[in-house]
Amino acid sequence: MLVYDSKLWRHVNEMCREFRVIGIKIMMNKTVLLLLLAGLLSACASTRVFKDQSPKNIEVIIEKDEGSVFNAKEASVEVWKLEADCKTTLLGEVDTESSKFKIGLQPGQLAYINFRFFSSGLFSSDNSMTYGSLITPKKGYNYLFKASYVEGIYNLEIFEKKAGRKSRQIETRHYSECGSS
């Protein structure tokens, strides 16, 4: 398991994303290209993809600006596991190809779901915005995370629901609140 964090991890993620999105223009020396490809592939292989820890009990809905050719808007979701001493372990990054998906988190396990919205443009500076919430899923409950970043305003709402009951909104809890309750 990888333990948080390093700028390297973020850079590797960004490189992998760019690799996936843009591809590589074959305009360089073949040896350099092969080395670059090998490096990128090995780095991308180490990107941890989140695997469900239990039956799917958390639905995530993401709303974001559309972006444009000149200013790409992307979102990523990471799931972290927290120990009793608040030490974090990255469980993985969730594929956000779709703006609506479900994941399974083990009931009783404290986790942090981190949303990252980032933009990069030809004529503007790169910008990334991260926020998230701690969650300890309860057995028999389902959760809905609604995360948005629209026109510079971000929001995260969490709803908890038990079968046959009405859902209720619960407070988001910042990572720094780990250990305080």
- Name the minimum Å distance from CB 61 to another protein: 15
Q: Which of 155, 168, 177, 179 binds another protein (CB under 8 A)?
A: 155
Q: For residue 74, give the amino acid letter.
A: E
Peptide bond just before 5 cis, omega within 30 deg: yes
> Residue 11 has what DSSP assignment?
H
What's the CA gap between 144 and 128, in Å, rounded? Answer: 24
Nearest residue to 77 via CA among 127, 119, 133 = 133
- CB 35, CB 62: distance < 8 Å: no
Check residue 164 for interaction with another protein (CB under 8 A).
no
Stretch that binds another protein, among 36-44, 51-59, 90-98, 152-160 (CB under 8 A): 152-160
Looking at 33-41, 97-105, 133-141, 153-161, which segment touches another protein (CB under 8 A)? 153-161
Reading phi first (left if > 0) and then psi (alpha if -120 to 50, else beta), residue 86 is in left
Asked if 152 is part of the footprint of another protein (rule: CB under 8 A), the reply reads yes
Taking residues 108 to 147 in sequence order and writing x for each that binds another protein by CB under 8 A, - otherwise, the string is -----------------xxxxxxx----------------
Number of residues that bind another protein (CB under 8 A): 16
Question: What is the binding site for another protein (CB under 8 A)?
Answer: 125-131, 148-155, 172
